[in-house]
Chains A and B, each alone.
Chain A
Amino acid sequence: MGDGIVNGAAAGFSPFLLGWIVLLPLIGFLVNGAVAIAARRYKPVPLAAASEEEDVAHRHEEHPATPEPIPATPPAWTKSLPTFVAPGVIALAFAIALVNFFRMLGAGDALPVIERYWSWMPVGDLQVDVAFQLDQLSMLMTLIITGVGALIHVFSVGYMKKDEGYARYFAYLNLFVFFMLILVLGSSFPLMFVGWEGVGLCSYLLIGFWFREKANADAGKKAFIVNRIGDFGFLIAMFLIFAHLGTLNFVEVFAAAPEQLAFGGAVVTAICLFLFLGATGKSAQIPLFVWLPDAMAGPTPVSALIHAATMVTAGVYLIVRSSVLFAMAPSASLVVGLIGALTAIFAATIALKQWDIKKVLAYSTVSQLGFMFAAVGIGAYVAGVFHLMTHAFFKALLFLGAGAVIHAMHSALHATHSPRDAQDMRNMGGMRRWMPWTFGTMGVATLAIAGIPPFSGFFSKDEILGYAWSGARGELPISQGSLFGVGGEVWMLLIGVLLAAAALLTAFYMGRMMLYTFFGPNRTGEAESPHLHEVGASMKWPLVVLGVLSLIGGLFQVEADVPIVNWFAAVAIGGPDALYNFLAPVTAPAAAVMAQNIPAATVATHPAWPVLLAIVIGAGGLLLAWYLLKPAALGVEGEEPDYRRAWERILHDKWYVDEAYDRGVVRPVVALSGFFARVLDRRLIDGTVDWMGRAAQSVGMVGARVQSGHVNTYAFVLVVGAVLALFWFSGGFAWLAAS
């Protein structure tokens, strides 16, 4: 399709049906959307009433006098069609992506292949085409999006089975995949921006999917405004790039930047910081992370797909895609790394005290995204992408598993019409007896995120930490950079320490979550617990597949020269350092820029202690959670425990550390976050917005008062305006100014 211009043909690689990867989800959206509109006729409040009252004049030509009675329930096809179409198109797109992947592997270091479809914005010197760029990075992202996406679609078939908005849900989900693919495959900043806005739109549509009665206007507004701030940064960065480089196509920008922009100069630093501002909005980093926890109101598979595996990683993708620019701005890179590390620890502490199982995972996601940003900030682009990939596996699995638990809880509570909260961990406990598959797969994911070898998270997280320690010893190019006059290696030490602490907390809160959910006595209730059950096949198998991926995902990138890790080199998929070698063409230009401008860093050394430390941290966190929390009494659902009385009881009881955490870490951090929420969020952002709104309104009121409704007032205004205009045209102002 299209008049494709294939650049990579020389390298022996031609893309296979590239456009269809993107087109298929769009087709799915259109089909499911049509079904959704058709199914709407069968709702309790149908438009049937509308056709009753429709204007008299047209009635006789449209319908016979007796309209067909509309059945109360929609016909079966409104469910069976989306069931096959929605996961089908994504699976097909995944298959095409796989074909392309193997072709790409066969072609070696293929150049980016640009497939051009039509000219999009041709105005003067701004030439932007609708074109897709397929290279190793976008290939990997496409595989993750369609692969994990297909699994989540299959899961959704079971999860959403009874929802009346079934077709609408799949329409949105397909549309999301479409925009996400545009985001990663677009060959220019504006096209990426289209995907960027599109996924945001779908995200709101899906958050709002069940919002109808609760109507949390503030949360919706907050998400929208927070993301507008991020988009503002993205747009400014685009304008800056265009103003200085005269193009917005990736290939041209990254070719021109090292030649036309000064290394470490103000321009490239500003571009990078504004790009990063855009990334913080979409990827929920400090200070724009506030919207993500609220986003958990949507259906759980949506949280898995959008708010864990794909959309929120767009910021990481943006930075890796622009790695040439970030390599040219070491201080901006350090900002990225520092913000990432701060977010990682900050969100991890919040996750410690959440009772809602999805909130735990939401803050965990924010924290893990912080790890990725820390990685790309210190120049370890492959490590960031690697963690992005493993995180997509295990976090999607965790969300889907949580969804399965919530699903079971919901049907159990529903059976007895209990008003209790299906997402509160205080109502769970001992679930492993009813849900062995869910428990097993979530267990794998927990071990992965905690960083226990040989699970996938161990490899990716260890690589990030390893790079941070390496940078702290001055072995990375960005170690030579500085921020606020402090050397890069100092910042990297800080980043490393923060990340290590965050890793410990990660293991701890994940252990806590597993403990409260799957172990101990069941707290669902006498009447309810018999209704708990394992999920059906369509929900079970995606969990299993993701479980396998969470287990082996780390073997795609086994560092050959790091002790302990290289024990796994024998079983590494595609050989040691496979992902590193695969992504080398994408990260090579950035590495070249750094090599050219930074005096050669010392040769990297690979001691064994960081790996051991990482293992100890991961295992230690889990064990701490197990021993400290197991005997802990749980509070009542919906209420936080009374901490003051708990403080008195600490002297007598054994669970001292939980409360210590609470007072020593969580409370101050929560207080700090509360401070941020009050001062930064509410007073500064909301306040400014409100103030601007009020000021603008009061000016508007004056304008509105002129609109009195009296024609003579109007005529007077007209005459005044005309007199002023004539005075100008007759040169009156010039005359006044001269005299």
Chain B
Amino acid sequence: MIESYLPILILLAISVVNAVVILGLTYLVSPYRPTSVKSAPYESGMPGLGGTRDRFSVKFYVVAILFIVFDVETVFLVPWAVAMRDLGWEGFAAAMIFIFILTVGLIYEWKKGALEWD
């Protein structure tokens, strides 16, 4: 049984080696001559305006959280949709229950006004 995990082990080893090699090579090979321009957060990009600690409206976070919920819904529903015929009515019922619960959540946030920006 343990042998079946061998490919994962190999993958793990390769990624570790890969990362170490790349970082090690850049460290060893590259010249190191910093200037103020090079040290800027966005080298050859837009110059930064103001501090990074600005306050954002909490609405951003609300939207982000709502997005994650329905994002996860997709993650669950897509595999079910693919295998829907094999899963039969039982699977269908389970998916409907899942969708029902999320719908309740949607109604709640709608009525609560979470989807309105103002």
Q: Do chains A and B touch in the complex (CB under 8 A)?
A: no
